[in-house]
Structure 1
């Protein structure tokens, strides 16, 4: 389960965020300042450390957190492909800001001047992304490992759980705040899901479907790829129209997960 075509094709915002997160983490790691990352009560309410506020959005405080965090950010590029870069930019801004406000309230309530209560990194964005992942990405396959049943979504959840518990309370709190932020976005608070960042060049367009007049996002430069019959059958088994499933697979380059997202997005219009 890779979230669509490999690489950052049609996901420039995700690419920028992943690179920024990696560079910030490596930079502070080389300088030996990773242990200083993370927000405390003093950083927010006493001395207002601006550099910490900025770095806390991008830089992870340890290598394991970086590995799992970048993996999840890379996978969740599927949502940028689904809603477009303009709306996904708003999702990032809303997730980061809303989760930070929740974190500030939590720090104020827990008031502990002796330690860093919050670990550093884009926990708000990552765990906000688990909300649409849970509701909007269907399970397409099931399999067993040593008798235990898993779905094609299980390893994403396991990676998220590892990241959530990586620093225990310091990472648990930002993760929960991120889930709350993602829930607010899904509830369309202030009609936030309609907002988008305007740009001079539109990255995606809506292409009319020959079946039922539905519309599907299509990359401007995407090339047609003949979908496999197995992939079409899988989407049809989920309840989608055969012709719609075939066209979505063409636009998604025969990737079932990306095609599912396209079909779900089309149904929401």
Structure 2
């Protein structure tokens, strides 16, 4: 199992978020202010430091936390490829806002002096992502080490556990709040999963982030730059193929889909045969094929 194609290809929001977190962590680390970025109840309600929540979300409090956190954010880019950059932007905003509200509420209710200041970092987004990771990403490999059973997902869980316990209570609480936020998103509270930000916002992320290793330009001029909205032709294919009753047989492409494209869709949790058919209908455009499969799951 992997996160799909290497690099930040088709994941501009993740790329921007990772770059921002790395820069903020390095800048505040050089200034020696990393330990002062954590969120506290007094900062919000007594000192009215409203900038604190924003900074506390973008900057990790230590280098080890940054390494594990950025690795997990990078891996979870697979979800942006699944739902598209517009909807993934909503997922990020929802996770950040809801987890912060839970954190402030927990600080007010617990009144624990050892939890006076929580650790900083995008814990809400990271641990919200563990909800779809647990429910939607299948296990592709199982193995044993010293008699213990592991899977290819075990390494992601271990990285998350390390991040969760990095600052003990100060990091456990933000992690739990992130899981709660991810669960609410999964339950589609207030129909949040139907929302998506306007196209120009995802386009901004695409222009804002400089090219990274593994990013490739669009294969054809007619292809959508954001990679998350099917073209008019693709929508027609979706309507004819993936309606509730599947009224018409598929029109296969003359070119057999590449094995690596099929493997990419399978790694996202789709059935191999469905992935192959979607690629054939999308003329081997992996972005359009992903949208076709996602639309099929909504019916």
Fold shared, TM-score > 0.5 on shorter chain: yes
Residue number among 216, 221, 226 corresponding to 2:258 in the alignment: 226
Q: Secondary structure at the match of 2:259?
A: coil
Distance, in Å, in 2 between the alignment partners of 1:38 and 1:116 is 9
| CA separation of 1:39 and 1:142: change in aligned 2, threshold 3 A | same
Work out whether residues 95 and 178 of structure 2, in 8 Å CA contact, stay in contact via their aligned partners in 1. Answer: yes
DSSP 3-state at the match of 1:47: coil
* Mapped contact 1:83–1:265 kept (Cα < 8 A): no
Ranges of 4+ aligned residues in structure 1 off by more than 6 Å: 259-262
Determine the structure 1 residue equivalent to 2:19: 19
Match of residue 103 from structure 1: 103
Q: Which residue in 1 is equivalent to 2:124? A: 124
| Alignment coverage as a number of residue pairs | 252
CA distance in 2, matches of 1:72, 1:113: 30
Q: Deviation string for 1:195-252 (max 9, x for gaps)? A: 0001146523333769x8139xxxxxxx986216x959x96xx99362x232457555
**Relative to 1, partners in 2 of residues 1:248 and 1:140: Cα closer, same or farther, differing over 3 Å?**
farther
Correspondence 1:182-201 to 2 at 5 A: 182-200=182-200
1:179 deviates by 0.4
Pairwise CA distance, 1:113: 5.8
Q: 1:114 to 1:134 in 2, by over 3 A?
A: closer
The answer to whether the 8 A contact 2:11-2:85 is kept is yes
Gaps of 5+ in 2: 204-223, 244-254
CA RMSD of aligned residues (A): 3.1
Is contact 2:58–2:122 with CA below 8 Å preserved after alignment? yes
Scaled by the length of structure 1, the TM-score of the pair is 0.83
Q: Report the secondary structure of 1:32's partner residue.
A: coil
**How far apart, in 2, do the equivalents of 1:165 and 1:265 lie?**
38
Q: Which residue of 2 aligns with 1:205?
A: 229
Q: Match of 2:250?
A: none
Deviation digits for residues 147-172 of structure 1 (CA, Å, limit 9, x no counterpart): 32211111111110110010000000
Q: Is the 8 A contact 1:41 1:112 kept in 2?
A: no
Q: Are 1:40 and 1:113, in contact at CA under 8 Å, matched by a contact in 2?
A: no
Residue matched to 1:267: 297
Quick one: distance in 2 between partners of 1:24 and 1:166? 19
* Structure-2 change in CA distance of 1:241 and 1:82 (3 Å): closer
Cα distance in 2, alignment partners of residues 180 and 158 from structure 1: 19
Greater strand share, 1 or 2?
1
Instruction: Write the deviation string for residues 56-100 of structure 1: whole angstroms up to 9, x where unpaired.
Output: 110000011000000000011101000000000000110000001
Q: Is the 8 A contact 2:40 2:104 kept in 1?
A: no
List alignment gaps of at least 5 residues for structure 1.
216-222, 254-258
**2:51 matched residue in structure 1:** 51
Name the CA distance, whole Å, in 2 between partners of 1:262 and 1:155: 30
TM (norm. structure 2) is 0.75
In structure 2, the partner of 1:159 is: 159
Q: 1:4 to 1:251 in 2, by over 3 A?
A: farther
Q: Which residue of 2 aligns with 1:246?
A: 276
